[in-house]
Structure 1
Amino acid sequence: MTQKRLLDEEIQTTQQQEHPKTKRQKQPVSIQDEEVQSLMKTINRKKLDFDSEKICSVTLSKLDIYGCLICGKYYRGCKERTPAFLHSVSDDHRLFVSFQTSRVVVLPDEIDIDLNTMHLGDVNKRLIHDIKYSVNPVYTSDIIQRSPYVCFESTQGQSYYNGIVGLNKSTSNNIAYINVVIQLLAHIGPIRDYFLLCYNKNLTNENGLIKNVALIMKKIWSPHLFKLNIGPDELISYLMVNHSNVIKANNNLDPQIFLNWLINTLCQSDKQLRKILTKACQGKLKVSTKGNKIKVVPFWNLTLILPEISMFKESKNVDDIKQIKLEKLIMEKFSMESTDNGKLYLIKENLPQYLFLYISRFNKSKNLNDSEFYVRNRNQTIVNFDERLSLPLTNDKGSKIQYKLISNIVHDPEKNLYDIEKDYTSNWKIQLPNNQTKDWVEIDNTRTTVRNFNLLFLDETCIQVWEKIVD
């Protein structure tokens, strides 16, 4: 399928989302196509940033925000005497995009740029489409099935695979643990499809958390990025205002804590999303206590306990660090000799479609507000794993239950170069498969690097997601 045909399909999808099957009201003021084409030349791609928090630069309002396509600043409203209107008059900046409806308008006349009726040429048509798509990407099932595929960002024309793009560090916090969790969830099929397809509408009155998570996931999979990296500033700002207990400025929050909080909060906020998450990601265990009472309990992730180690200095030499196979860790959790707080866990056969494994490396409190850990004294045991995982269970056909690895979050500590007495700072990376190239790619905030899968086990794995293989 050619790039032009692909673009035409996506433009048609965007227009269908923006324009229902009702006749469009006639514009009170007309504008010549030639004038619009002239205005299009004033758009400054390098100034455009659609990831920052949408706040009016004059009034600090968050309502009805428009972005100036010439200088990149945000202003409220488009009616007479609003900041956007006054900016268009005083600075002669005529083109704006609405972050609420994704329409592109000419101010002060308030005329929509309509790709259905205006003859702007292929280049301008593509630019308007990219702007609308950057503000609120829309998808079809066909686009998702083809992803990831080679795309080109608008500013410099660099190539990338949609879905495999970096996330910037927040301008206010260095919190890579949030980035890797969002990336992890964005690569779980049912969750991705829900946010990309079910939220193909203008998000105006939705739950704030779901709205921000949906938007960043849609941008991760966007084939029309303005820049190769995406900024999570809107999500971070929302969390800082409404859920400040999940923000740790020094990055020393375990991603597993944030992952569990996010999943549970999303479930409480949206019934349909709760059904999807429960069906795809929640498993059940039989738990036997000391009193031999057995009960079935749900779980979002299985915590695997590493063998205890004696305290030793930080080392990057593999020979100095203990190693253990992932399968052994799993079996030890369910063995008759291994108990956790007086409980014995037994595998229940209906394991989830997506199995989350958490490898506990830190001595920390379970309280979200007291979850900082001593990075220097973490357990550095190396966990060996393959791309396939076979569990000692059988399905209805009598075959062993098997999983394939689809994401791997690793811990990468950073020493304090100025004060050796201070603890290390945690950095988090995520490793994902590119199903088109068959390579594994490591995303470290904005950096993406192709990795040899056979060497991934050398990193400090903390969270893995395994997808069940269906015969």
Structure 2
Amino acid sequence: MVSVKREREAEVDDDDEDRVAPKIIRGRVVEDRRSRHCPYLDTINRSVLDFDFEKLCSISLSHINVYACLICGKYFQGKGLKSHAYTHSVQFTHHVFLNLHTLKFYCLPDNYEIIDSSLEDITYVLKPTFTKQHIAGLDKQGKLYRAYDGTTYLPGIVGLNNIKANDYANVVLQAFSNVPPLRNYFLEEENYKGIRRPPGDIMFLLVQRFGELMRKLWNPRNFKAHVSPHEMLQAVVLCSKKNFQITKQGDAVDFMTWFLNALHGALGGTKKKPSIITKAFQGSMRIFSKKLPHPDLLPEEKEALLVTEEYQEQMSESTFLFLTLDLPTAPLYKDEKEQLIIPQVPLFNILGKFNGSTEKEYKTYKENFLKRFQLTKLPPYLVFCIKRFTKNNFFVEKNPTIVNFPITNVDLREYLTEEAQVTEKNTTYDLVANVVHDGKPTEGAYRIHVLHHGTGKWYEMQDLQVTDILPQMITLSEAYIQIWKRQGGDDDTNNHTVA
């Protein structure tokens, strides 16, 4: 009880002493002379600074009033006489600290604010900012930047740290960071800063953390050529109620589905009210559904049922954020060399699901339906999910079929209704991101191919590894998620403010 009381007193002291008392002479505020002549600036070690992790005191685990020691990189609470930061400065003679919330620098134990323009690069790494001109030019340049540790990198083409088993989330975050309208929206914090959420709503944390991660990925002045998504993934664990975790492998499509819908809701979007998510990815389709009689019924009974209203074909309109493409079943038997044949299928074959005439049976636990689909509106960015995994009561099975697809000029006009073919001006798409799953269903790993718009080159990213890749090699992979960009601009997604 006594220790809790002391800790509370320390927090109050810290808050009070966070404001350095200004000197007042003849009614004027005079800053401390030492503020611009701190003798300890040369002790700052930029190579150990890492602001990607959660802003918690390394001793008390408190997130209130946290300072970063710029000599060893550790986080400590407060800077008053009894605080952990003060004790650390005296014990280890580390004098320069940064308040992670106010972005002000202080010298401890002397307790005066440091004002020096040479420290601006540190605050920029902690909180990067982008002007409208900078954002507008991101896709027009392919300049390599050199990080403080000497490594060169392209902003946006940056490795994400795999903390334990979060590569399934890394590839989705990297894919969305290279979708220009989504990236441009989140690079500018003002776009979503004013969105009001109800009290106690934790989902907006997802928006804030995704914006912070996006700005770090596109920061041209990083201290290192990779980023750790630690804070972003902690928000995912919290907001998904531990359905998606850092320490347990997950499914990239499941995560993407949840993430897109969670972002849409957190940005104030509804079924009728759009957000940047629906502006970029949402299309619409017609679904023709026909109920089938139970297979155990006699032929006469089936014929009688098929005449009734309940078993007539019904049409409905539906929106989508991505399209699921079904693969043909993999072969059961091995060839003459005792090896399984890896089948191949053209992309246009599996796209036939949406031509309006191909029917497929869908089973529920008590009823069967025959459905066919036809697209009525194409989004500026079209997401394909290739269904590789099937689950039953015992295990998860993976279909290894290779999908043959062109990188550019995929025309989807034939999958639109006749009315939509008249209204849709451009129906040709180019690939911009390709997520791949390698290995067994439960033990495999994810990697991603991304097109850098400035250079026109393709890069492969697997956690921290970033390598360039030939476009011809992309089509040989076991594609799982693909993002396609419509030719002829970003359409209405250029308007980043949510209506």
* Both proteins in one fold, TM over 0.5: yes
Match of 1:429 in 2: 447
Say which of 355, 363, 383 aligns to 2:382. 355
Say which of 232, 245, 248 aligns to 1:247. 245
**2-side partners of 1:137 and 1:58: how far apart?**
27
Matched, 1:176 2:167: yes
**2-side partners of 1:97 and 1:364: how far apart?**
50
Deviation track 1:405-429 (CA, whole Å, cap 9, x = no partner) reads 1111001126xxxxxxxx7512111
C-alpha spacing 1:131/1:331, structure 2 compared with 1 (3 Å) = same
Deviation (angstroms), 1:152: 3.3
Say which of 355, 358, 378 aligns to 2:398. 378
Q: Secondary structure at the match of 2:232?
A: helix
Instruction: Report if the CA contact (8 A) 1:285-1:345 is conserved.
Output: no
C-alpha spacing 1:202/1:48, structure 2 compared with 1 (3 Å) = farther
1:85-96 alignment runs, 5 A limit: 85-96=86-97
Kindly tell me the number of residue pairs found equivalent between the two proteins.
414
Match of 1:461 in 2: 479
**2-side partners of 1:318 and 1:467: how far apart?**
38
1:312-323 alignment runs, 5 A limit: 320-323=341-344
Deviation (angstroms), 1:292: 1.6
Match of 1:296 in 2: 317
Deviation track 1:139-172 (CA, whole Å, cap 9, x = no partner) reads 11222233264343443222110000000111xx
**2-side partners of 1:306 and 1:47: how far apart?**
48
Deviation track 1:216-244 (CA, whole Å, cap 9, x = no partner) reads 11111110111111111122233334431
Instruction: Report if the CA contact (8 A) 1:250-1:425 is conserved.
Output: no
Matched, 1:221 2:214: no
Q: Secondary structure at the match of 2:223?
A: coil
Match of 2:18 in 1: none
Match of 1:283 in 2: 283
Q: Secondary structure at the match of 2:255?
A: helix
Deviation (angstroms), 1:52: 1.7
Q: Secondary structure at the match of 1:309?
A: coil
C-alpha spacing 1:32/1:337, structure 2 compared with 1 (3 Å) = closer
Match of 1:3 in 2: none
Deviation (angstroms), 1:340: 4.8
Match of 2:99 in 1: 98
Match of 1:155 in 2: 148
The one-letter amino acid paired with 1:30 is: R
The one-letter amino acid paired with 2:242 is: S
1:259-274 alignment runs, 5 A limit: 259-271=256-268
**2-side partners of 1:166 and 1:324: how far apart?**
31
Deviation track 1:49-91 (CA, whole Å, cap 9, x = no partner) reads 1112221011111222221110110011234432223322332
**1-side partners of 2:113 and 2:134: how far apart?**
27
C-alpha spacing 1:303/1:397, structure 2 compared with 1 (3 Å) = closer
C-alpha spacing 1:265/1:219, structure 2 compared with 1 (3 Å) = same
C-alpha spacing 1:139/1:310, structure 2 compared with 1 (3 Å) = same
**2-side partners of 1:373 and 1:99: how far apart?**
47
**1-side partners of 2:30 and 2:433: how far apart?**
50
Deviation (angstroms), 1:327: 1.7
TM-score, length-scaled by structure 1: 0.80
Deviation (angstroms), 1:209: 1.6
Match of 1:133 in 2: 124
Q: Secondary structure at the match of 1:130?
A: helix
TM-score, length-scaled by structure 2: 0.76
Deviation track 1:88-109 (CA, whole Å, cap 9, x = no partner) reads 2332222222222333333345
Unaligned runs of 5+ in 1: 1-24, 415-422
Match of 1:198 in 2: 189
The percent of aligned pairs where both chains have the same amino acid is 30
Find the structure with the greater CA-based Rg: 2
1:357-436 alignment runs, 5 A limit: 357-364=384-391, 374=396, 377-388=397-408, 389-391=410-412, 392=414, 393=416, 401-413=427-439, 425-436=443-454
C-alpha spacing 1:83/1:390, structure 2 compared with 1 (3 Å) = same
**2-side partners of 1:399 and 1:32: how far apart?**
61
Deviation (angstroms), 1:347: 2.6
**2-side partners of 1:254 and 1:247: how far apart?**
11
Match of 2:294 in 1: none
C-alpha spacing 1:460/1:347, structure 2 compared with 1 (3 Å) = same
